[in-house]
Amino acid sequence: MTTVNRTFDVHPQPSVVIDYLKDFSHAEEWDPGTESCTRTDSGGPVQVGSTWHNVSKIAGVSTELDYTLESLTDDTIVLVGRNDTATSTDTITVVPSPDGPGSRITYEAVIELSGAAKIADPVMKIVFEKIGSDTEDDMTNVLNRLA
């Protein structure tokens, strides 16, 4: 299992950040590995149970996961992506920034590889740490444009 954590501040208020990030199709804008992320449920308001099909390229390898919005509160989003070889649980917590206006985001990605893919776990930790830093940079830039 690989866990990557990042905590950072952005300019928009928490409600704006939560409203934007709960729609996982926006991952195309802030997740550097995401090539496409398409909503797959019946549409309507994004809510617990909404689903997306995500296609990503990680270390040159394409992978597809089906994500479900598992939990949504005023300050937390939990998205879980699954395929035959991995489960990715992304927990995004958004609170008012203690340093002034805006929001503090804590993003935690827990990636559990299964079967033969577990062998790659030590290498994937290095890869996902780099992706985590790139995601923090991209997400900060995208969210700051919403302010």
pLDDT tens profile 15-36? 999 999 999 999 999 998 999 9
CATH second-level architecture of 2-144?
A: 2-Layer Sandwich (3.30)
Q: What is the mean pLDDT of residues 83-109?
A: 95
Q: What is the mean pLDDT of residues 131-138?
A: 80
Q: Hey, where are the domains in the chain? A: 2-144
Cα 89 → chain centroid: 8
Comparing CA positions, the residue from 134, 136, 143, 140 lying closest to residue 32 is 134
pLDDT in the model for residue 117: 52
Cα 125 → chain centroid: 16
Q: What percentage of the chain exceeds 70 in pLDDT? A: 88
> Mind giving me the DSSP string for 40-57?
-S--SS--TT-EEEEEEE
Residue 104: CA count within 13 A, CB half-sphere: 7
pLDDT at 66 over 80: yes
**Residue 59's pLDDT band (boundaries 50, 70, 90)?**
confident
